[in-house]
Structure 1
Amino acid sequence: MATTDLNRRTALQLLAAGGSAALLAGCAGTSNSPPSSNASVDSATGSAGGISITDQRGKTITVVRPVTRVVTIPMPAASLLVAVDRTADHLAAMHNASWVAMRDGIMGTMFPESLALPHEIATQDFTANVESVRALDPDVVIQWSDAQLIEPLEEAGLTVIGLTNTGKQEDVDAWVAMFGAMLGKPERAVEIKARSDAELAAVKEMASSRNLPGPSLLYFNRFTGGLKAAAANSYNDFYIKLVGATNPATGDDPLQGSGMVGLDVEQVLRWDPEIILLGNFDGALPQDLYADPVWQSVSAVKSRRVYKVPLGGYRWDPPGQESPLMWHWLSDIAFPQQQSRLPDKVTEYFDFLYSYKPTADELDKILWTAANGQSDHYQQFNAA
């Protein structure tokens, strides 16, 4: 047996032992097994068995060899694929929102070929243009697990891997495991999960060691054109609580609903959050709140604690491969006395994910140091 095959087999055994990212079985589940946030992978790369992956619908997909052409529709999937692969060579097309993040962030600089890829393959609500996708002749299409999104693709004869997002880190771990398996790089998935687990443990330890009450922290997924905040079962609620802060949208006066929920200014005024985060899905910046009379009575505005979430290889607000950096950034925002020298951590982590070390100017762009420059304690993140 070749050394590469031994390494892959060892990696898959480690994935199985980890439990939360992937469960290894002698056979990869049946197509009617129940959906789960975990993914089962059974790799027989280099043998007649091929690579079998049980996706988050509980359906088993088998490919005869590592895939070389992948179309991604869920927005985190394109950049996650590149991080697992350390190249954009096997990305065939992506959702437009993924492409915009690559264009506006640093991914397009690290992997300029990604900006030339097709990206008008699905509507904003992730409904695929089936004929456009078929014309790309992909080995695999990555899609959200909703039946109405997947069935048209499968009826067209395409191989589809379904993802879910339950607002938990286990989903990211499952995506990494599936992508590593289908690319023939399960050992890379092990590395990424091990690194993420170590960072998660470090952030938890920091949070548990503080004898400080956490601030109330509200995340806006949308601000311009109508407010939407992170409510129950959102990844944002997970990391707000992870760092030791509280989310008023899931507190004593919670938003009704799950995920990103619409609300009005009056609700925010009642909560009076101490910190406000502005996501990367619209163009809102801290200055927009600082200059608007409507927001002047909110504690976060009065104390200049409104921040634009960083935009790296992908947006840091949703789950993804750079989520460990989001956890550390948010810890420093919530508890600014920590002064963790995040730019150094970003540089090292980008080298690990992408084999790329950002310049000081690129770090300032990732961390929005200019846009956040008027906000409290943000000088700690300056790289240039």
Structure 2
Amino acid sequence: MRIDDLNRRAVLQVFVAGGSAALLAGCGASGPPTAASPSGSGTASAGSESISITDQRGKKITFAKPVTTVVTIPMPAASLLVAVDRSADHLSAMHNASWAAMRDGIMGTMFPSALKLPHEIAAQDFTPNVESVRALNPDVVIQWSDSQLVEPLENAGLTVIGLKNTGTQEDVDAWITMFAAMLGKPERATEIKEHSDKELAEIKSVAAGRGSAGPSILYFNRFTGGLKAAAANTYNDFYIKLVGGTNPATDKDPLPGAGMVGLDVEQVLRWDPEVILLGNFDVAMPKDIYSDPVWQNVAAVRSRRVYKVPLGGYRWDPPGQESPLMWHWLSDIAFPQARSGLRSKVTEYFQFLYNHEPTSGELDKILWTAGNSDSADYQQFNAG
């Protein structure tokens, strides 16, 4: 979904215990919030002590007190919960792909206890292992809102908050608002959104001030074992356009359908993208493209503009709490700087999100400085 469309989507309204404070966590686009819509809205309210949340299915869930044990199945949810909580203390189990991102990134370094949690509680397609989840007796299970994924959990007597993923910044804001409310920390949602809005405004201002068009940027969600690129209605398409680039998969010769769409090398050769982004959902690195004769005539390969997307507390590819850092990174990839200020921005953001100051080595790991070292202008992200 394009950024202009976000203004027409709903925002979340949260009333915390006592009803004295209202927090608006709207879409990532600038502009006033609009009336709530069933597809993307949630309302959390509380009486004197209880906490009620309306999830993205439109279902109201009430807790007598802040939750203390949470099982997360959607991949971004585990690290998002930790960022909202600034702790892994209330995370009880997670999807294996969430756990792998913690292991491969630095979340496991910041919160080593998270790596000891159960992570075989759902299949790759998010179908829950109901008996494994029920054995943990969590206060709440976070799950994608598809009925076939939610109903087995609810039929087993478990409380479920359903999330939708329509590829928008609004989803991130909605998830953060619900997580903050259920943890009894509604003010945290306001803090995170204020940070995100500030960074979004900065990116939009810089993009608007440029006198030249940006490069064509193709994002691969999968590269090894079959190509998949970000097509219409993806968060990747949103941020490519946000920084001033164009996405060939949604441009004059678009891929059919929406989401992550399969394609062949011939299609990429016809597009001839100027920049290629490799996501963190497989092991492909720039050297794999540079060394393959099939790709040698692609503009991005000829100019050495193939980059592995950073991996921080979570993957930067999809929407999440570190998305503002992705916007800045991609802006500097599309329009290289002599010296990027991203390292200091990552440090500030990690202190805010996780109460952790990353070391120089951790910053190099997050930014894949070794894996991207043979790519053009990547020295802008090196330590000074």
Superposed CA deviations along residues 219-255 of structure 1, whole A, max 9, x for unmatched, are 0000000000000000000100010000000001101
Unaligned ranges ≥5, structure 1:
1-5, 22-32
Match in the other structure for 1:240: 240
Match in the other structure for 1:70: 70
Match in the other structure for 2:176: 176
- CA distance in structure 2 between the partners assigned to 1:333 and 1:10 by the alignment: 45
Letter in 2 for 1:36: S
Alignment of 1:27-38 (within 5 A): 35-38=38-41
Alignment of 1:96-175 (within 5 A): 96-175=96-175
Superposed CA deviations along residues 172-217 of structure 1, whole A, max 9, x for unmatched, are 0000000000000000111001110111111011110100111000
- CA distance in structure 2 between the partners assigned to 1:73 and 1:185 by the alignment: 22
Match in the other structure for 1:195: 195
Contact 2:16 2:181 in 1 (8 A): no
Shift of 1:315: 0.3
Superposed CA deviations along residues 334-369 of structure 1, whole A, max 9, x for unmatched, are 000374311010001000000000000110000000
Q: What SS class does the counterpart of residue 220 from structure 1 fall into?
A: strand
- CA distance in structure 1 between the partners assigned to 2:325 and 2:150 by the alignment: 32
Q: What SS class does the counterpart of residue 204 from structure 2 fall into?
A: helix
- CA distance in structure 1 between the partners assigned to 2:26 and 2:85 by the alignment: 22
Superposed CA deviations along residues 56-115 of structure 1, whole A, max 9, x for unmatched, are 111111111100000000000000000000000000000000000000000000000000
Aligned CA-pair RMSD: 1.7
TM-score by length of 2: 0.92
Match in the other structure for 1:356: 356
- CA distance in structure 2 between the partners assigned to 1:232 and 1:261 by the alignment: 9
Contact 2:278 2:308 in 1 (8 A): yes
Q: What SS class does the counterpart of residue 337 from structure 2 fall into?
A: helix
Q: Identity of aligned pairs, percent?
A: 75
Letter in 2 for 1:373: S
Shift of 1:37: 1.8
Shift of 1:40: 1.2
Superposed CA deviations along residues 122-172 of structure 1, whole A, max 9, x for unmatched, are 000000000000000000000001000000000001000000111110000
- CA distance in structure 2 between the partners assigned to 1:9 and 1:292 by the alignment: 62
- CA distance in structure 2 between the partners assigned to 1:40 and 1:226 by the alignment: 41
Q: Which runs of 4+ in 1 moved over 2 A?
A: 6-12, 18-21, 33-36, 337-340
Cα distance, 1:333–1:10 mapped onto 2, change above 3 Å: farther
Match in the other structure for 1:41: 44
Contact 1:68 1:90 in 2 (8 A): yes
Shift of 1:41: 1.3
Q: What SS class does the counterpart of residue 212 from structure 1 fall into?
A: coil
Match in the other structure for 2:347: 347
Letter in 1 for 2:99: W
- CA distance in structure 1 between the partners assigned to 2:129 and 2:271 by the alignment: 42
Letter in 2 for 1:369: T
Q: How many residues matched?
A: 363
Alignment of 1:1-384 (within 5 A): 12-13=21-22, 15-16=23-24, 19-20=26-27, 35-44=38-47, 47-48=48-49, 50-337=50-337, 339-383=339-383
Superposed CA deviations along residues 269-327 of structure 1, whole A, max 9, x for unmatched, are 00000000000000000000000000000000000000000000000001000000000
Shift of 1:43: 2.9
- CA distance in structure 2 between the partners assigned to 1:12 and 1:300 by the alignment: 50
Shift of 1:257: 1.0
Cα distance, 1:226–1:182 mapped onto 2, change above 3 Å: same
Contact 1:11 1:186 in 2 (8 A): no
Contact 1:43 1:181 in 2 (8 A): no
